[in-house]
Copies of this chain bind each other. A is one copy, B any other.
Amino acid sequence: MSFSLYDISVPAFSRGLDTLSHLLDKGAAYADEQGIDHAQLIGGRLAPDMYSLIGQVQSASDAAKFGAARLAGIAPPSFPDDETTLDELRARIAKTQEFLRSVTPESMDGQEEREIVIRPGGRELKFVARDYIRGFVLPNFYFHLSTAYGILRHQGVPLGKLDYLRGAASPA
């Protein structure tokens, strides 16, 4: 038994986006409790020239959306990156999950060796699909999830590692 392109992509994105929603919920609860403005919470960042929490959520959404669409060879929906509130970020995550539910395992069958070309930051990168998901999309997706966690922790939100790894397994 082995893994298909779908097996190692879409379920990981869905689970990761669930986690991201959970992290935002805990962040919002902490902000309310401490009297921290939500705008300040979601505007937080780890370095002046890194994305804020807003940008991390948008980027995690994009990594999942473009990753799934490119593996399946379908057009992704367009999300304009105009979120400015916590509720809008939650809606962005929900829209991404809705798109992921529309992507079928069959659409990725036999696509492992298809060429995928992307242009992050103006540089052209070429992959075959099997390397694109393992070497680019998954590390990138988890980067934005982990950085969202780091931004919340940096602002004092009480999160533990199992908030990030929740859903990985049923507690025994």
| CB proximity of A170 to chain B, nearest CB, Å | 7
Q: Which residue of B lies closest to A169 (CB)?
A: B125
- Indicate if A1 sits at the interface (CB-CB under 8 A): yes
CB-CB < 8 A to A161: which residues of B? 120-121, 140, 143
Name which of A9-17, A27-35, A81-89 contacts chain B: A9-17
CA distance A132 to B169 in the complex (A): 8
CB-CB < 8 A to A168: which residues of B? 125, 127, 131, 135-136, 139
- Indicate if A39 sits at the interface (CB-CB under 8 A): no
A153 and B50 in contact (CB under 8 A), knowing A120-B162, A136-B165, A139-B165?
Answer: yes
| B121-A47 in contact (CB<8A) | no
CB-CB < 8 A to A99: which residues of B? none
Size of the A side of the interface (Cβ < 8 Å), in residues, is 55
| CB proximity of A10 to chain B, nearest CB, Å | 11
CB-CB < 8 A to A15: which residues of B? 135
For A154, give its contact among B7, B46, B110, B143 (CB under 8 Å).
B46
CB-CB < 8 A to A7: which residues of B? 3, 134
User: Could you write out 9 A-B pairs with CB less than 8 Å apart?
Assistant: A1-B130, A7-B134, A12-B139, A15-B135, A47-B153, A120-B161, A121-B162, A125-B168, A125-B171
Name the 4 nearest CB pairs between A and B, nearest first: A142-B142, A146-B146, A136-B168, A3-B3
